[in-house]
Amino acid sequence: MRRILTILVSAGLLFGLTGPARAQSGVTVTDVNVQYGYGEVVIFSARIEAPTPILEAYIVFQAEGDQSARIAPLVVNPDGTVVHEHWISQGQLRPFATVVFWYRVLLGPDQVYDSPPYNFVYSDNRPPWQTYGDAGVRVHWYAGDTPFGQAAFNTAQRSLQSINALFRVDLSTPIDIYIYASAADVQSVLNLGGQTWLAGHASPDLGIVLVSIAPEPGQSIEMERHIPHEMAHVLLYRQMGPQYYNLPTWLREGVATMAELYPNADYGHILDIASQNKNLIPLNDLCGPFPQDASNAILAYAQSASFVRYLHNTYGAQGLQALMDAYADGINCEQGAARALGIPLSQLDLRWRQEVLGEDISSVVLGNLAPFIVLLALVLIVPLWYMRKQTRAQEKREASDDRSAA
């Protein structure tokens, strides 16, 4: 605990938590304070006073975006102080989310008091962050000098222009970009152990971007790839609202990849190999979450990027917008494309393979129809075989009867 307390950050003064709360019941809540060591423990403390004995007391807290609140019982000390330790290992709090909390006091069966809500932002307070930005975009970093942060900010500004060519950019609230020095650091923030290929993440509803970029000679390429990609997710959410999550994953990731200022040159090679080996993933299989293993995940990103670029080149920005609008309405993955572009997704998949990858789609179509051909054969052949068997049996009986009659 001693090591944890050395990195705790008090939120009492930062978030205005010290004002007293009073109700007609005479209950007061004062000295409200939050301290936390990111990824380890959050400590809530306060003083509760009441004119009559307190039967029960609780703390209720909920992170922004979580579906339900947590509630924990409190022990009220003789001096009215209460403390609750929430260990992150027993329940994750969403990174960089605003956590709202309040105190609930029971004085009797019909005497329940809820304090006013308080809040704090559960941000990563471990690194010594530096910040540079304006009202629209703020860049935070801890490894690298001031020119490193300036370069990241300049990349973010150019990213806005790239994204605005795809859909309208909304900067009514700022985007916060946190730059970590390694992918392992990003994964530690998100508790995504095992996905060593992950180099960035966006929390679109929070306006938060996390990217892994080390200050080194190739930093500009990494900035031009990861920063616009994750910013596109945030800005696409702002355009679509919660319906953003109705979009197929291939569409969200494809649009974000198109926004990159320095496209991944390996994607073309990956697609060629997968196409030659007949290992491409059907687009319908990329409507939901992408594969977790690195090789298939990278292939999924490569396919999404190429497919969405093909749609943009073929149908233009208006066609892409119509596609997003259709999916936002909750139409299923196959038919959303049919409504927006007049062609089901599976057929668009075949056209993309033929026109972009040069595949012979007749073999692809035959491969897709093979299960149905087998089923059709079974449906037709089995009855015919059975009928033929019955006919032969009947012929044998008739021949036997003829011999008996003779």
Distance CA(188)–CA(76), nearest Å, equals: 35
Per-residue pLDDT reduced to its tens digit, 172-205: 999 999 999 998 899 888 875 445 556 789 999 9
pLDDT digits (tens, 9 = 90+) for 306-345: 999 999 999 999 999 999 999 999 999 999 999 999 999 9
DSSP annotation of 287 reads S
Predicted pLDDT of residue 145: 96
Q: Are 124 and 95 in contact (CB under 8 A)?
A: yes
pLDDT at 18: 44
The overall average pLDDT reported for the chain is 87
Cα–Cα distance between 323 and 301 in angstroms, integer?
19
Task: Give the model confidence (pLDDT) of 75-92 as tens digits.
Answer: 999 999 999 999 999 888
Structure tokens at 94: 């969403």
Residue 224's alpha-carbon distances to 155, 258, 263, in angstroms, are 6, 12, 8
Give the model confidence (pLDDT) of 341-384 as tens digits.
Answer: 999 999 999 999 999 999 986 554 445 444 444 555 555 565 66
- Contact in structure between 255 and 293 (CB atoms under 8 Å): no
Q: Label residue 11 by pLDDT band (50, 70, 90).
A: very low
Rounded-to-integer distance, Cα 398 and Cα 402, Å = 6
